[in-house]
């Protein structure tokens, strides 16, 4: 879970934790990349905000696509997906616009996991 907004990040972590997922959380893209680079960690999916100060979700998406292409990613943002053209063209990325209901978030995350398994 990558989000610079601590309140939003904790809420989404809580939702996924209640669904039985083990969730790691960080506040920015560079911290997420450090977790991914650690060989002791493995991830089945990533959830990331798009608008973050130290590294945008679009830049993170580029790095994930080039280095960690097998990890599907759910991006979330208050802006519509068409504001992020680099995200729109990648089939390994899903997008959910805020605000959303917890059930919609769980469904979108489940859809991302289904991509990882197919």
Q: What is the DSSP string of 64-93?
A: HHHH-TTS-EEEEESS-GGG-HHHHT-TTE
Question: How many domains does one find in the chain?
Answer: 1
- For 37-81, write each residue's pLDDT tens digit: 999 989 999 999 999 988 988 888 889 888 887 789 999 998 888
> To the nearest whole number, what is the mean pLDDT of the chain?
90
Residue 15 lies in a domain: yes
Residue 1 lies in a domain: no
Give 13's contacts (C-beta < 8 A, 6+ positions apart): 1, 23, 25
Residue 86 lies in a domain: yes
Beta bridge partners of 93: 73
The residue range of the domain holding 52 is: 6-117
Q: What is the band of 92 on the pLDDT scale with cuts at 50, 70, 90? A: confident
CATH for 47: 3.40.50.2300
Phi, psi of 71 (to 5 degrees): -100, 110
Q: What is the pLDDT of residue 83?
A: 82
């Amino acid at each position: 879970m990558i989000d610079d907004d601590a309140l939003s990040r904790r809420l989404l972590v809580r939702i996924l934790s209640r669904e039985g997922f083990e969730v790691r959380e960080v506040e920015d893209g560079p911290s997420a990349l450090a977790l991914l680079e650690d060989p002791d960690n493995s991830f089945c999916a990533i959830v990331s905000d798009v608008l973050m100060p130290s590294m945008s979700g679009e830049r993170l998406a580029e790095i994930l696509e080039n280095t960690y292409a097998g990890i599907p990613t759910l991006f979330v943002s208050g802006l519509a997906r068409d504001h992020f053209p680099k995200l729109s063209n990648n089939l390994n990325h899903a997008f959910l616009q805020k605000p959303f209901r917890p059930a919609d978030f769980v469904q979108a995350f489940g859809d991302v996991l289904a991509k990882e398994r197919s």
